[in-house]
Every structure is written in C-alpha cells, then in structure tokens.
Amino acid sequence: MYGVQNLGSLVGDRNHLIIIVLTVNITNGRGKQQIAQGRKTHALAAVADSSAMALQPSPRPMDYPFATSPDILRTHQKDAYITGTLSTQASTIIRALLGARFAHKYADATNHLSELLYLCVTTLLGNRTLGEEYCDVIQVEDDTLRLAGLGRRVGYISSIIFAPWMLGKTLPALRRKLRSKLEWNVEHARQRGESAQTRAFKIQEYILKHLDTFTSPNPIYALSLATFYFTGAYYHLSKRLFRLRYVFTKQIKPDEQRVGYEVLGVLLVLQMAVQTILHVRETYHEATTQTAMMGDAEQSATAIVGKGVEIPLGSTLGYSPTHLLADMDTPHKLPPGLSASTATPVLEGARYDLKDLEIMAWIPEGQQRKCTLCLEPFRDPSATTCGHVFCWTCVQDWVKEKAECPLCRQSVLPQKVLPLR
C-alpha cells in the first residue's frame, strides 16, 4: 500500500515538473518574441529618425568675408608701428654696447633684422601678428581659401625683407653703370660728328636724362597701390605675388560694413595721368626747341676764338657755355660727360679738412670739429637750413636718401646745403 502511494506521488511530482517546464518554455518564447519585437520597433524608430534628419535642411557653413581696404591698412600700420618700436629699441641697445658710429653704419641692417625677427615669431610660426589680432583678420590663400601654408609664408617673408634690401644695394650700382655707359655713347657720338637727328642718339639722350625715373620702382608701387584701392585685395607686392589675402575671423553685421577707398584710387590714377601728360608735353617741347635751335645754328655765322673754338654769332639761342667745355683741355680722370655738364673741377680730396687745426681755427677742438654722421673731423663742413653742420659728402648722401636733417628731422633740400668757408 505504501509502495502504491509512493508511486502515485512520484507520478504527481513528474507531472508537476512537466507543467513547470512547459510554463517556463512558454514564458521564454513570449520573452524572445517581445525582445525581437522591441528590437524591430527600435530599428524602425531609428530609421524614422534618420529619415526625419535627412529631410531637415543641413545648417549652412559659416563663411568669413574678405577684409576690406580700411582694415588691411590699419593692420599694416599697426605692424609698422610695432616693428618701428623694435627697431628703435634695438638701435638703442646697439648704440649703448657698440657705439653711435656702429649703430649709424648698420641702421638699415638693424631695421631689416627687427622686421625679420617680428615676422619669424608671428607669421613664420603660423601665428597672427599684432596688427592682424588688432583688426580680427587672418591670412589665407586666395586660390584655396585655406590658412597660408609654410611655403607661401616663407616666400612672403623672404620677398618683403630681402627683396627691398637687395634692390637698395644693387640699384644704385646698376644706375651708375648705365649712366656711365650712356654718357660715353652720347659723348662718343658727338665727337664723331654724328647728327643729333638720328633715332639712336635721341633715344640714348632721352634715357640718360630720365634714367632715375626709369630705374625707380616707385611707378610700380603706385600702380600696385592704385589697384589695391580699387579691389581691396593685396596691399603689398609680396602678397600679390604669393596670393595671400586677409579674411575676417568674425561675422560682419550689416551695420558694420566697411567703405572702400575707391576715391583714393581714382585720385592716384589722375595724379599719374597728369604727370604722364606733363612729361610728354615737356619732352615734345624740348624736342621742338632743340630742332629750332639746330636750324638757327646752321644759318648763323661763327667765329674762331681762343684755341680754335668755334662759337655762333648770329643767334644766342644755340650757344651754351657748357658746349665749349667739351673742346677744352680737361683732366683725363674726369668721368665721361662730366666736363660737358659742369665747369667745377673735380678734386681728389677735401678742400677744407679740419684735421689741420689751423683750418677754421674758430671752431673749438674736440667733438665740435667732428661730423655727427661719420664721427671724423669735418671734411668740407656744410650747414643745413636748421643750422647743423656735417661733412659735405655725408650730408649730401644723407639728403639723397632722406630729405631731412639727420639730427632734428627738419626738411632739408640738397640745394639748400651751404658749404662753410
């Protein structure tokens, strides 16, 4: 009896276990279905969200407008002020360490090195200059609209620093060689008796007269500046060469729109046009006058004076005392053409050298007898309009580069320098 009850209990437990297993399986199946359905719903929601985002318009990229000419000018003025301050401080240090003579001798090199140092610690390293930060602008490449690459930055710095320095060193020597060559050609043509009506003679004489204008870079700078005023793109030739432009680093509001300098461009073009017209008129007038003078000289009588020098008598228009100098005996050391343009003899040394204390003894000994520019005793001392005294050659070389007094910066013209006697 007990065995039958145990068997019945075992059968009941087995049925109970089967029911539990079936219940668990059904529950797991429903859970899997719910999980699968949830995943499917989540995927559909993600697809719907992505479709909705695709239908929405994408935000416009932020564009930075190009800087205008007033901001570019302020940028360069600020940088010029900073480099000028650095150059002044460097000159002060050099003067204190190596003396005033060394500082004056290498003043140009100090200026260029100061500017080079400033650009190396800013532009070369990819940083903005103080002027660019002041005006909220930055350099970009005009063709790619990206930040200026290393190659263009190096080229820009090299051209803006070394090109003017090399031009200042080579241009005077080139001008002297061309002038000497042209003077020799013109003088040789006159000695051979060639007619002044030949085209080659006229061209060489015209180039010789206007050689300084032809070899000056100022017209190129003027054209570049006029183009900048009209377009507002490139202020320096170096930036135009390497196609570097400025863009704002912020959005410009409608009430912050800048006004260009087109009016200045028009005025600059008018100035160049007027100068060109006056030059053409002057050249034409000189050519006409010279032709008339030659015609009168051929019809006038002549006389022989002195050592066989022939001068016109019928008309004084064709006579110039400087024409006689070419036929007179002149020192063989004179440069070609100099004897035909001036009657002043060329001296080998200074006329008044204050190394000799007996010369101009009324000037006290010591520093008062030394030139401020060369720091040596005066050679042909000459006074400017402001009253400062320098050597004749020193002050003439100075005013050719800067028409101002080296000490007080007052305006001085070369023809206003007075030699002391």
Neighbours of 365 (CB within 10 A): 9
Share of the chain above pLDDT 90, in %: 24
User: In this structure, what token pair is assigned to residue 34?
Assistant: 């719910």
Residues 280 and 411 in one domain: no
Residues 396 and 278 in one domain: no
Residues 34 and 90 in one domain: no
Residues 173 and 232 in one domain: yes
Residue 9 lies in a domain: yes
Residue 64 lies in a domain: no
Residues 237 and 189 in one domain: yes
- Mind listing the pLDDT tens digit for each residue in 33-49? 554 555 555 544 544 45
Residue 188 lies in a domain: yes
- Residue listed under structure tokens 């999980």: 35
pLDDT score of 292: 65
Share of the chain above pLDDT 70, in %: 69
Q: Summarize the confidence of residues 309-323 as an average pLDDT.
A: 44
Per the structure, the complete domain to which residue 157 belongs is given by 69-291
Residues 122 and 6 in one domain: no
Residue 235 lies in a domain: yes
Residues 99 and 12 in one domain: no
pLDDT score of 381: 87
Last residue of a domain, one of 58, 87, 103: 58
Task: Give the pLDDT band (50/70/90) at residue 369.
Answer: confident
Residues 197 and 156 in one domain: yes
Q: Report the alpha-carbon distance of residue 394 to residue 408 in Å, rounded.
A: 16
Q: Which of 5-14, 23-32, 235-244, 370-379 has the lowest mean pLDDT?
A: 5-14
Residue 159 lies in a domain: yes
Please give the residue that has the higher pLDDT: either 50 or 266: 266
Residue 101 lies in a domain: yes
Task: Give the pLDDT band (50/70/90) at residue 319.
Answer: very low
Q: How many domains does the chain have?
A: 3
For residue 318, pLDDT over 70 is answered with no
For residue 417, pLDDT over 50 is answered with yes
Last residue of a domain, one of 272, 291, 310: 291
Residue 150 lies in a domain: yes
Residues 185 and 234 in one domain: yes
> Side chain identity at 77, as an amino acid letter?
Q
Last residue of a domain, one of 58, 80, 100: 58
Residues 54 and 74 in one domain: no
pLDDT score of 361: 77
Residues 32 and 89 in one domain: no
Q: Summarize the confidence of residues 76-93 as an average pLDDT.
A: 93
pLDDT score of 138: 93
Residue 336 lies in a domain: no
Per the prediction, the chain carries an average pLDDT of 75
> What are residue 311's DSSP bridge partners?
303
Q: Summarize the confidence of residues 112-123 as an average pLDDT.
A: 94
- Mind listing the pLDDT tens digit for each residue in 239-288? 999 999 999 988 877 776 677 888 999 999 999 999 899 988 888 887 77
Residues 254 and 114 in one domain: yes
pLDDT score of 345: 53
For residue 336, pLDDT over 60 is answered with no
